[in-house]
Amino acid sequence: MNNLHRWRFAAIAAATSTLPLGTAHAGSVIFGDPVPGTNTGIGYEWTVNLGANDSASFMRFVGAWSWEDDSLFTPGQNPVGWTHTSDWVALTLDTPQRLTIRLDRQAGVPLTGDPGGPFASTATMNPSFTIWSGWDTDGSESHMYNNDRNVTWAEDLTYLGHVNNSSESFAEQYWDLPAGTYTIVLGSNAPSDDADDQGYKATFTTSVPEPASALFLLSGFGVLGLRRQRSNRSSSTLSHAH
């Protein structure tokens, strides 16, 4: 973990401790790396453990261009996000489960340890996320990552899928997955840069896969593909404030 990432942890840890981030029904949520005390691999902000029919939720903030920075994209190049302004989650599933990830805009997230504010913006929070199998806890991070494929500098991760949302107030998707470890990156895909950090709420839930899926997972043949994608179709207006 480089000096910039260590500074970011120190600057926001107090603010996070004041939030209702441990609102898990039975699953566990920890603000911190799954391998504390090391400075190698991805600097995970969150460590989450889920069992059967479980759930966990937490809130924090990310950069407006954290998941994808459109200003860096040109035809023929792969889309990239910013490693240190996104939030990284180290997830463990204890048993084969259907994992649903939902990421919402969240107003009222404090930026400091004062619950009275100041608060993160939501003006350019377009929730987007990517999931890989495995954790990356060795080597070093890069400032940028590819959000729709394997990450060259995180060689221990295998890409599973992503949700690219450039306008809606939430993003939601599920996968049928075997027991194991997973990496999820949370961020925003804003049409323009916003100097303010953007508030989010993440909710992870598990449920029993459909019978055919469950048999496939238990047989050890690996991860099933994407089943469904849902997005908010409300008529609410998104402000593109700078």
**Longest distance between any two alpha carbons in the chain, whole Å:** 51
Q: Please check the confidence at residue 10 and state whether its pLDDT lies above 50.
A: no
Structure tokens at 124: 């350019």
Q: What is the DSSP letter of 66?
A: S
> pLDDT digits over 15-63, tens only?
333 333 333 345 899 999 999 877 789 999 999 999 999 999 999 999 9
Which band of pLDDT confidence, cut at 50, 70 and 90, is reported for residue 227?
Answer: very low
Q: How far is CA 110 from CA 17, 26, 146, 230, in A?
A: 10, 25, 29, 29
Pick from 106, 128, 102, 89: nearest CA to 206: 102
Ordered domains of the chain (ranges, CATH): 3-231 (2.60.120.1050)
> pLDDT digits over 152-203, tens only?
999 999 999 999 999 999 999 999 999 999 999 999 999 877 778 999 999 9
Averaged pLDDT score across all residues of the chain: 80
Which band of pLDDT confidence, cut at 50, 70 and 90, is reported for residue 73?
Answer: low
77 vs 14, more confident: 77
